[in-house]
Structure 1
Amino acid sequence: MELPETLRKHLEDFSRNVLFDQSRTESSSKDRDAFLAHDNRVLSSLQLQMSLYFNMWFFPWWWISETVMLQLKYPALSDYYKIILVTILILMTLIEAIRLYLGYAGNLQQKVPELAGFWLLSVLLQFPLILFQLFNEAILVQPLERGVHIILALFILTQAISGFVALRDMVRHTESQFHLRQFD
């Protein structure tokens, strides 16, 4: 059973004051620095990491099936949809490689900028592109494409949600560390 946030905060403040601020000497400053240095909570999200891992293994299969399906339906498409679909395939491949790298680096190394970049690429670029490919019937969506697009869309949606939660937790932790260091 987890303590309510306000009670936990008060207990942390109380223990910090009792354990580290007994005297207002230089040793108390050293104790506080030691406390801050040993705050090694792991903020990485296991759910996000698992989703990134499985996405990394699924993406080549998505790419192969998308390329084969594009090649099969290419003669039946209008000229502007040919250009749009080839452009989307190239963009999604580049964005996905960058997105997965930023997700791994941001989550495992607990780096806020990388995780924020991962989240923005997921929400602003990949998710709309995969939804376009999933729901636009003018591009002659084949059953195999629909299946792999649904799986990739679920990966991206899961990663966007768990990435947001992980990013929020990392920002809160970084903010609290900044405020604690500000009092020295």
Structure 2
Amino acid sequence: MALPEPVRRRLQDLSLTVFTDQNRTVPSPDENFITLPQNHEVASNLPLQMSLYFNAFFFPFWWISEVVMLDLKYPALQDYYKFILVTVLVVMTAIELIRVYLGYTGNLQEKVPELAGFCLLSLLLQLPLILFQLFNEGNLILPLERAVHIVLALFIALQLCARWSL
């Protein structure tokens, strides 16, 4: 399953601006791809791929424990925290599924727009949401919840570090 062409084109334009340097070749208007130099070897990032692999296995455990912990503490929460935590759970679930898919696709198939989408989702949405869940004491953080949030935050931080380490 590929990204829709308008989304892919916008991500490619953004990734050309953000993730490349002065030594790149710019595609002509009739081309839809970046031309690399003949001796340039592109390889996927193994630490990023390993982190995404383990993250994909950890995410169902995180989701189940989050739902159980939310069910346990729901009666004790204030009304606005009930709404916020349910909304954050739904949003984080959708973002995490898309983020891991974009990371896999972008890394294994060496597609820069998908990697740009992965980095943007990780840095701008997923990391702030997991830090909110981890450090906001108003939502009555339980010990299991704190543990799984720490692991997911470490996965996100490691993936961002692995992406920019090359």
The two structures have a TM-score, normalised by structure 1, of 0.68
In the alignment, the residues of structure 1 paired with residue 49 and residue 74 of structure 2 have an alpha-carbon distance, to the nearest angstrom, of 36
Native 8 Å contact 1:119 1:164 kept in 2: no
In the alignment, the residues of structure 2 paired with residue 111 and residue 165 of structure 1 have an alpha-carbon distance, to the nearest angstrom, of 17
Residue 123 of structure 2 corresponds to 123
Q: Which runs of 5+ in 2 are unaligned?
A: 1-36
Residue 153 of structure 2 corresponds to 153
Residue 48 of structure 2 corresponds to 48
CA-to-partner distance for each residue in 1:140-166, whole Å, 9 max, x for gaps?
000000000000000000011112235
Higher share of residues assigned helix:
1
In the alignment, the residues of structure 1 paired with residue 164 and residue 98 of structure 2 have an alpha-carbon distance, to the nearest angstrom, of 18
CA-to-partner distance for each residue in 1:54-83, whole Å, 9 max, x for gaps?
000000000000000000000000010000
Residue 134 of structure 1 corresponds to 134
The two structures have a TM-score, normalised by structure 2, of 0.76
> How far did residue 41 of structure 1 move?
2.3
In the alignment, the residues of structure 2 paired with residue 117 and residue 162 of structure 1 have an alpha-carbon distance, to the nearest angstrom, of 15
Q: Which runs of 5+ in 1 are unaligned?
A: 1-34, 167-184
User: How many residues of Structure 1 are paired with residues of Structure 2 in the alignment?
Assistant: 131
Residue 80 of structure 2 corresponds to 80
RMSD: 1.5
Corresponding residue SS for 2:128: helix
In the alignment, the residues of structure 1 paired with residue 95 and residue 103 of structure 2 have an alpha-carbon distance, to the nearest angstrom, of 12
Residue 105 of structure 2 corresponds to 105
Hey, which bits of structure 1, 4+ residues long, moved more than 4 A? Answer: none
> How far did residue 122 of structure 1 move?
0.3
In the alignment, the residues of structure 2 paired with residue 164 and residue 91 of structure 1 have an alpha-carbon distance, to the nearest angstrom, of 26
Q: Which amino acid aligns with 1:108?
A: L
CA-to-partner distance for each residue in 1:106-149, whole Å, 9 max, x for gaps?
00011110001000100000000000000001100000000000
Q: Which amino acid aligns with 1:156?
A: I
Corresponding residue SS for 1:141: coil
CA-to-partner distance for each residue in 1:73-107, whole Å, 9 max, x for gaps?
00000010000000000000000000000000100
Which of the pair has the greater relative contact order for Cα pairs under 8 Å at 6+ separation?
Answer: 2
Q: Percent identity?
A: 68
> How far did residue 40 of structure 1 move?
6.9
In the alignment, the residues of structure 1 paired with residue 69 and residue 92 of structure 2 have an alpha-carbon distance, to the nearest angstrom, of 16
Corresponding residue SS for 1:110: coil
Corresponding residue SS for 1:41: coil
